[in-house]
Amino acid sequence: MVKVLISDKMSPKAAEIFRERGIEVDEITGMTPEELKACIGQYDGLAVRSATKATAEIIEAADNLKVIGRAGIGVDNVDIPAATAAGICVMNTPFGNAITTAEHAVAMMFSLSRHIPAASESTHAGKWEKSAFMGVELYGKVLGIIGCGNIGSIVADRAIGLKMKVVAYDPFLSPERAIEIGVEKVELEDLLARADYISLHTPITDGTRNIINADNIAKMKEGVRIINCARGGLVVEEDLKAALESGHVAGAALDVFVQEPATENVLFGMKNVVCTPHLGASTNEAQVNVAIQVAEQMADYLLVGSVTNALNMPSVTAEEAPKLKPYMDLAKQLGGFAGQVTETGLKRVLVEYEGQAASLNIKPLTSIILQGLLGPLLDSVNMVNAPVVAKERGIDVTESINERAEDYQTLIRVTVTTEKRSRDIAGTLYGDNRPRIVSIKGINMEAELGPHMLYVTNQDKPGFIGALGSLLGEKGVNIATFHLGRQEADGEAIALVEVDSELDADTIEKVRNLPHVEQVKNLKF
């Protein structure tokens, strides 16, 4: 039975959904890393928020784990490279708390502009210090948004409603999308120079880490105000403190910090800093939404193979998964065949999709082909990490689609270029959705692959088929199917023989020594 562990506190809706889908679920929160490591091996899925740290050590102990689901956006607590190497899909829920986080950023902007936290504390203390809390209007001010994705675009919409001018820096924001949401797309230096307020809504990458630093602060307008409800590592806190003390930055509102939980911080106690304890996603609505989403996504993946909001593999919708299943079987066979007959270093892989196959979501199919191709050559290759492994080894992978069918209604062709030669193999699905090999090295043949296959390439000469059959008979090898193909008379030929069990080394050697044989391979599927 499929089994999931919920290791952080989240809405009971998550466990309800798992149980409704027939998945066994344990809710065990507050475990130490040692306790988690000791029990994680029995689970197929792990659902977390931010408290659980899915480290490389935990992942190494997770023998059966197939998916880690983060109920929220940030996955700083999950070692994605380790999960990818282990073939574990990592998912998040990027939309469940988007409105909540965007609203918190706007609330922080208001609080900073009108000194609301300090004014509230003063008034509670029996003081009446109107002149001490002179604020500024948001109306007519320029808001600079760094990272204008889902949350950033919601903040932009709210700011436009407040009659602010919004400029946005985001390398992935298209000019068309900028026009659609009503912002001006600018470069970072332009944003820094123009913005009265700067709000951060970007993940941490090599390009965004410490983006608010002394150099960039120096490029900002005098009196700028900074809001960060994204990730603590975007801001160099010591540089921000110095700018606040000098007055160059008029104020900052921070919901996130480099070290969390943040019980101490260089910015704490400053009068012009508003701080909250990572409340961006802390509304009842958001917590229910992300719990429901993570449970549904994980259940879909574990039960039907659909992939939603994955960070380390291509997405497959629940509707696509059944349609892709027979093509995945075909892709596995094509990749496995090519990988087992490849004997020298890989340089390039071309995957061509024709006819009906061209209309599918091809990314997962290519991943499965690469898994089969690289598996015989490298250890621990899986559907999740195969594209990464290929890239790391400098293997050029290209996909091609052609919706016009030629000889077959649907066809997938894999062409592998090595240091010495190129070889292609093509397959299709027959009416029963069972995979068939229809071409090897340009030689037409129709073969259904069984668990054990003998692959022989030879020169097309009289007597070879009889010699091969006799040898296998003498060795007590039972032949299930026998498929032949050739380019031309006296040219290169191929024999693809299904046998009942794997041939031993002596039999393979005797086949190799037959006249006119060029290559012999035991193949497993």
Cα 453–chain centre separation: 35
SS3 at position 517: strand
Query: Rounded to whole angstroms, how far apart are CA atoms 372 and 80?
Result: 22
> DSSP character for 479?
E
Contacts of 4 (CB under 8 A, 6+ apart): 18, 23, 24, 25, 26, 43, 44, 45, 46, 47, 298, 302
Which tokens hold the place of 151?
């949350």
Q: Are strands 273-275 and 249-254 parallel, antiparallel or unpaired?
A: parallel
- Residue 449's nearest CA partner among 435, 433, 439, 438 is 435
Query: Rounded to whole angstroms, how far apart are CA atoms 15 and 326?
Result: 32
Q: CB–CB of 290/71 below 8 Å? A: yes
Query: Rounded to whole angstroms, how far apart are CA atoms 61 and 41?
Result: 6
Query: Rounded to whole angstroms, how far apart are CA atoms 46 and 435?
Result: 34
3-state secondary structure 335-369: HHHHHHHCCCCEEEEEEEEEEHHHHCCCHHHHHHH
Residue 97 backbone dihedrals phi, psi, to 5 degrees: -120, 20
Q: Are strands 3-6 and 24-27 parallel, antiparallel or unpaired?
A: parallel
How big, in percent rounded to 5, are the helix, strand and coil portions of the chain? Answer: 35, 25, 40
Q: What interhelical angle do 464-474 and 505-512 show, nearest 10?
A: 160
- Residue matched to tokens 């990464």: 388
Query: Rounded to whole angstroms, how far apart are CA atoms 214 and 239?
Result: 5
- Residue 91's nearest CA partner among 258, 333, 297 is 297
Q: What interhelical angle do 363-374 and 320-341 show, nearest 10?
A: 30
Rg (CA), the chain: 30
Convert 186-204 to b/e letters by CB count within 10 Å (16 or more is b): bebeebbebbbbbbbbbbb
Contacts of 420 (CB under 8 A, 6+ apart): 344
Task: Point out the residues that are catalytic.
Answer: 231, 260, 278
